[in-house]
Amino acid sequence: MSLNKEISEILVCPKCKGDLEHEDESLHLNCVECKLLFPIKNGIPIMLVDYAESLTEN
């Protein structure tokens, strides 16, 4: 299920308040600044930092 385009345009990263990227048919939103992936479940973005997946190795 795809994310509504209007919603994806107004959402920002809850950690840094930066813009999020979303590719069509992608199951996540990507914060380039924080290097976090926020999951989208049933068309609803889960915008909690605790549920985000890191793109960097710690």
Digit-by-digit pLDDT tens for the chain (58 residues) are 567 778 878 999 999 999 999 887 789 999 999 999 999 998 899 999 999 999 886 5
pLDDT at residue 6, rounded to an integer = 83
Residues written for the chain: 58
Model-level pTM?
A: 0.84
Domains identified in the chain and CATH numbers: 5-54 (2.20.25.10)
Write a three-state SS string for the chain: CCCCHHHHHHCECCCCCCEEECCCCCCEEEECCCCEEEEEECCEECCCHHHCEECCCC
Q: For residues 24 and 40, is the Cβ–Cβ distance under 8 A?
A: no
